[in-house]
């Protein structure tokens, strides 16, 4: 490496700065001239200009309706290189806020600011050029300059003081520089010392500090939460607390206080489980108060997610080894991040979600273990693996921040990589029913069966790392040859699962020569694959009996009465699956025998490999096969009598894309999924706190009935000991801080809803969230609303339209105070956008539950003979959750609008106490919105002065 220059000189590109709106752009030339151009005018000018300086090149091109920029100085690429693992919203304003620069107020100011952002980033790189993260940055930049012609390379080399650096791909091999984990002695048994309510209050005060505001309700909540950490008196009867805490109570720190104290005192971690990644990240940020020192925080706090969330170092190595120049930049940014990351989490962690958006699909997405291909101890990077690090750190941590999905799935699998927890805090407890429903369900679909075949046989000629069971166990079977025949027998029968290209064959004639539309094709060869034959009979029954006539959408039908052809196909498939399961079960037994043989002298590495192989065979092979065979055997059983309460709900469904059937499935769900949750998660624990702002149905006039409904939705009613109930009201003055409106003169169908939403968004001056109950209506509304809002200086973003993940969309919405966002239920729950960034929330219609077969059975059997009330309660919960997004701080104000004249008053009773919705026409709603928010906006409307500084409490 050449000597590092003492005083690097900055080398800024001679590039025009470009900021895009919808079909228009603001351009600042290299001479400093400011121009506003239409998309067509810009397209004519671009060939004459140097590559532009911009933020998010693909999004800029899409907004302008232009083809991708062949070359551009994208500031996001520079930011990701210079400040890996640092958060920033992918907009000029977002980058300015991340760099502590004055945020621009409009597109012109943003375009003027872009060169300053570039200068700031290059100066930071120059100031940190001797840091470990930049030890080989020069070699990497030189490689990007020579192989990928990256336009930022020269500027980076100049900032590093290494203009003549030699190119090398060694910096991409980040796994060489990552630390290894080391095994430690097993943790000692935890104690069972209680936490007194007064102690919880004291710990809360310590976390908040002497200068924080007094919140009596928060202290009361901490006292109630402490009861979940009482010693367990009888096996199977955990200390259970249901605590409802109104928005603004500060429940996160309220339960962290007793949880952290219990963990310190008793020497075992408390698992804090959430439903959404957004809340997982918020809880992690709150813990800065408890552990301000980064090293203490890393030691005591661990975020746990499934393997599919983390960078797989083996995937990364294989991508690097065969990387084409077009993929080199993406892999370089990932490598820089991998060295700086806290825990390797690429889904909601410190990996900027917008990095994947800058490159073609697959350049980044394939780097996580999304297909269950982990080979565990056989991996050369096992001791550096991010997942293995987090698993081991979780064993000795005080607080483990997980999610409902991981907790449930590990319970459904009979345990997992993490040791069972004794104490849980389930935040977003109103989602436990849905989380359990997903975790404890099963489906026999083409996709699931093809995935099992891929796990058994490997990629079968296609590109990829799927090595198949034989190669996965190659080292184990070479040491224990008696295992190999069992592996080979399972593989011989794997051909009965859907083969490559199975999806394209669903529309071909079945074994009778009949296609999926019912037309006969005699003489055409048909498949003998039992799995594919089963899928075709499923499609035939669904098409024959489904109530969904529109071929553009998914469809479903009841399993019974069962068609004879489906019964025969199910029996054939069950027999085929048993031929795969039998050798796998014998293999699992042999592996267990080797591990438990008292006379075997196994080395540590051999024992780890055998145990890993046993667990993988069980999880990836035996468990799905056992569930599928049980479902298929039930096809031959006597159908349930109409009206009887079933333990499970079975039904058939098909999935369409662009009008074509792409998959079919037999589904099985528990009628009440909180039953397996209670037996597998809650009962073995010593204590649980289940908390939410919306545990009870506030529209239920009978208070006792509301608590009973909350206990039913969380599984508390399936435990032998009664739950301790606690409720702490919100400190917010909702009647003063909010305005609720039901618009009465907007048609539900057609373009009127989009028109009404646009007028309301204009009245609020942005900071508006529009929620839809259907993706199709969302997309249609976006296409209608975007041009007008952009012309008014209000950027519009949308889930399922913009190529951003939900976390990135929320980051952009939070940073851009006058932007607008459209979304579905994923943006309705668990999104925290305090301050002016969210001041208007508009629902397109009442969020009724989808009228599915599963919902039909649940409203029949779980409603207490009140099916209408069951539907009402679900809709009220959703409305209340959405309303809760609006007010997050004591100084927030917001307007809630429902564009559904049919909204019954009984549903609106779920809004906070004192909030009385007013019914009015659209014109009056627009005036009321403008008046309610205008008094407090000052010059915050587009074209006004600078935004004030709003910070959370």
Measure the CA dihedral 866/867/872/874, to 10°.
110
Per-position b or e across 338-355, b if 16+ CB within 10 A of its CB: bbebebbbbbbbbbbbbb
pLDDT digits (tens, 9 = 90+) for 688-722: 999 999 999 988 888 999 999 999 999 999 999 99
pLDDT digits (tens, 9 = 90+) for 716-740: 999 999 999 999 999 999 999 999 9
Residue 196 tokens, joined = 């007194």
Measure the CA dihedral 752/755/760/761, to 10°.
140
pLDDT at 92 (0 to 100): 95
Tell me the average pLDDT across 94-113.
Answer: 94
Higher per-residue pLDDT: 79 or 953: 79
pLDDT at 352 over 60: yes
From CA 199, how far away is CA 431, in angstroms rounded?
30
Task: Give φ, ψ of 653 to 5 degrees.
Answer: -150, 155
pLDDT at 77 over 70: yes
Residue 226 tokens, joined = 């402490």
pLDDT at 465 (0 to 100): 52
pLDDT at 276 (0 to 100): 83
pLDDT digits (tens, 9 = 90+) for 423-477: 999 999 999 999 999 999 999 999 999 999 999 998 776 555 557 899 888 888 9
Name the band, by pLDDT with cuts 50, 70 and 90, for residue 830.
low
- Signed CA dihedral, 553, 559, 565, 567: sign only: positive
| E strands, 520-601, in order | 555-558
Name the band, by pLDDT with cuts 50, 70 and 90, for residue 105.
confident
pLDDT at 106 (0 to 100): 87
Lowest mean pLDDT segment, chosen from 520-534, 735-749, 900-914, 923-937: 520-534
Residue 788 tokens, joined = 């007008």
pLDDT at 7 (0 to 100): 66
pLDDT at 514 (0 to 100): 44
CA 856 to chain centre: 28
First to last CA, the chain: 49
pLDDT at 601 over 60: yes
pLDDT at 518 over 70: no
pLDDT at 757 over 60: yes
pLDDT digits (tens, 9 = 90+) for 313-339: 999 998 998 788 989 999 999 999 999
Tell me the average pLDDT across 615-644.
Answer: 91
Average pLDDT of every residue of the chain: 89
Higher per-residue pLDDT: 79 or 801: 79
From CA 731, how far away is CA 216, in angstroms rounded?
10
Tell me the average pLDDT across 599-623.
Answer: 86
How far is residue 629 from each of residues 345, 411, 538, 580, 623, measured CA to CA in Å? 35, 21, 16, 11, 10
pLDDT at 206 over 80: yes
List helix spans (H) across 358-423.
386-396, 404-412
Indicate the SS3 state at residue 302: strand
Burial class (CB in 10 A: 0-12, 13-18, 19+), 782: buried
pLDDT at 936 over 80: no
Tell me the average pLDDT across 852-862.
Answer: 96
Indicate the SS3 state at residue 648: strand
pLDDT digits (tens, 9 = 90+) for 242-297: 999 998 899 999 999 999 999 999 999 999 999 988 888 889 989 999 999 989 99
CA 771 to chain centre: 18
Query: Looking at the DSSP assignment, which residues form a beta bridge with residue 742?
Result: 898, 919
pTM: predicted TM-score of the whole model, two decimal places: 0.91
pLDDT at 349 (0 to 100): 85
pLDDT at 935 over 60: no
Q: To which residue do tokens 């600078």 refer?
A: 946
Tell me the average pLDDT across 673-687.
Answer: 96
Q: What percent of the chain has pLDDT over 70?
A: 93
Smallest CA-to-CA distance from 273 within 638, 556, 689, 803 is with 689
pLDDT at 65 (0 to 100): 87
pLDDT at 510 over 70: no
pLDDT at 466 (0 to 100): 59
Name the band, by pLDDT with cuts 50, 70 and 90, for residue 549.
low
Tell me the average pLDDT across 773-780.
Answer: 90
pLDDT at 550 (0 to 100): 62
């Amino acid at each position: 490496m050449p000597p590092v220059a003492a005083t690097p000189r900055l080398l800024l590109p001679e590039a025009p700065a470009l900021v895009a709106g919808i079909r228009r752009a603001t351009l600042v030339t290299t001479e400093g001239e400011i121009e506003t151009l239409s998309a067509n005018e810009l397209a004519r000018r671009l060939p004459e200009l140097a590559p532009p300086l911009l933020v998010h090149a693909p999004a800029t091109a899409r907004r302008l309706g232009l083809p991708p920029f062949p070359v551009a100085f994208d500031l996001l690429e520079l930011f990701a290189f210079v400040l890996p693992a640092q958060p920033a919203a992918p907009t000029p304003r977002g980058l300015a806020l991340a760099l502590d620069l004055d945020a621009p107020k409009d597109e012109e100011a943003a375009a003027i600011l872009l060169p300053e952002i570039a200068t700031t980033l290059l100066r930071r790189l120059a100031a940190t050029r001797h840091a470990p993260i930049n030890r080989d940055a020069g070699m990497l930049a030189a490689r990007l300059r020579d192989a990928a012609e990256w336009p930022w390379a020269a500027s980076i080399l100049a900032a590093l003081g290494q203009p003549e650096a030699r190119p090398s791909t060694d910096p991409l091999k980040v796994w060489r520089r990552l630390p290894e984990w080391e095994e430690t002695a097993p943790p000692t048994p935890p104690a069972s010392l209680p936490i007194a309510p007064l102690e919880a209050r004291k710990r809360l005060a310590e976390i908040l500090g002497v200068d924080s505001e007094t919140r009596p309700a928060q202290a009361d909540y901490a006292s109630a939460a402490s009861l979940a950490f009482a010693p367990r008196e009888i096996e199977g009867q955990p200390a259970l607390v249901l605590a409802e805490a109104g928005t603004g109570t500060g429940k996160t720190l309220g339960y962290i206080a007793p949880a952290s104290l219990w963990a310190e005192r008793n020497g075992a971690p408390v698992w804090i489980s959430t439903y959404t990644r957004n809340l997982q990240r918020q809880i992690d940020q709150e813990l800065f108060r408890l552990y301000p020192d980064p090293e203490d925080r890393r030691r005591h706090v661990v975020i746990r997610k499934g393997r599919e969330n983390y960078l797989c170092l083996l995937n990364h190595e294989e991508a690097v080894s065969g990387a084409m120049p077009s993929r080199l930049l993406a892999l370089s940014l990932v490598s820089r991040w991998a060295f700086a990351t806290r825990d390797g989490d690429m889904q909601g962690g410190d990996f900027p979600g917008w990095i994947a958006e800058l490159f073609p699909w697959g350049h980044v997405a394939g780097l996580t273990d999304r297909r269950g291909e982990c080979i565990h101890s056989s991996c050369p990077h096992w001791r550096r693996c991010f997942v293995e690090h987090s698993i081991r750190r979780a064993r000795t941590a005080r607080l483990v921040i997980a999610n409902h999905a991981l907790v449930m799935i590990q319970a459904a699998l009979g345990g997992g990589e993490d040791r069972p927890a004794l104490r849980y805090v389930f935040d977003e407890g109103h989602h436990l029913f849905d989380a359990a429903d997903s975790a404890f369900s099963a489906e026999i679909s083409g996709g699931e069966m093809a995935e099992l075949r891929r796990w058994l046989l490997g990629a079968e000629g296609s590109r990829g790392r799927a090595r198949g069971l034989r190669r996965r166990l190659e080292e184990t079977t070479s040491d224990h040859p008696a295992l190999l025949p069992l592996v080979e027998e399972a593989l011989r029968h794997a051909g009965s699962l859907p083969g490559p290209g199975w999806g394209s064959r669903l529309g071909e004639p079945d074994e009778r020569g009949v296609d999926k539309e019912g037309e006969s094709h005699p003489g055409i060869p048909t498949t003998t694959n039992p799995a594919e034959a089963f899928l075709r009979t499923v499609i035939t029954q669904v098409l024959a009996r489904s109530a969904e006539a529109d071929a553009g959408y998914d469809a479903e039908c009841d399993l019974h009465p069962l068609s004879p052809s489906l019964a025969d196909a199910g029996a054939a498939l069950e027999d085929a699956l048993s031929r795969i399961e039998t050798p796998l079960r014998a293999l699992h037994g042999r592996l267990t025998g080797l591990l438990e043989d008292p006379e075997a002298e196994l080395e540590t590495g051999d024992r780890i490999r055998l145990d890993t192989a046993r667990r993988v065979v069980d999880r990836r092979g035996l468990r799905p096969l056992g569930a599928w065979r049980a479902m298929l055997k039930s096809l031959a059983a006597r159908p349930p009598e109409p009206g009887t309460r079933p333990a499970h709900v079975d039904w058939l469904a098909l999935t369409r894309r662009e009008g074509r059937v792409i998959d079919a499935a037999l589904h099985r769900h528990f009628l009440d999924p909180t039953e397996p949750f209670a037996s597998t998660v809650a009962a073995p624990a010593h204590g649980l706190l289940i908390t939410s702002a919306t545990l009870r149905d506030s529209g239920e006039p009978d208070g006792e009935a509301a608590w009973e409904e909350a206990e039913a939705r969380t599984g508390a009613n399936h435990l032998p000991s009664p739950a301790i109930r606690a409720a702490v009201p919100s400190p917010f003055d909702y009647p003063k801080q909010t305005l609720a409106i039901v618009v009465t003169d907007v048609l539900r169908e057609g373009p009127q809803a989009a028109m009404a939403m646009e007028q309301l968004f204009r009245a609020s001056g942005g900071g508006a969230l529009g929620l839809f109950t259907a993706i199709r209506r969302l997309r249609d509304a976006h296409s209608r609303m975007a041009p007008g809002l952009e012309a008014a200086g209000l950027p519009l973003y949308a889930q399922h339209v913009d190529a951003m993940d939900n976390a990135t969309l929320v980051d952009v919405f939070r940073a851009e105070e006058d932007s607008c966002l459209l979304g579905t239920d994923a943006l309705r729950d668990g999104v925290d956008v305090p301050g002016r960034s969210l001041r208007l929330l508009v629902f397109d219609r009442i969020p009724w539950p989808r009228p599915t077969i599963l919902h039909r059975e649940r409203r029949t059997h779980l409603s207490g003979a009140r099916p209408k009330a069951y539907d009402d309660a679900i809709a009220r919960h959703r409305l209340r959750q959405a309303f809760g997004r609006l007010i997050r701080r004591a100084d927030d104000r917001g307007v809630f609008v429902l564009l559904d004249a049919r909204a019954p008053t009984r549903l609106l009773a779920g809004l906070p106490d004192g909030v009385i919705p007013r019914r009015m026409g659209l014109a009056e709603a627009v005036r009321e919105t403008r008046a309610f928010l205008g008094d407090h906006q000052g010059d915050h409307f587009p074209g006004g002065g600078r935004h004030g500084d709003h910070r959370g409490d």
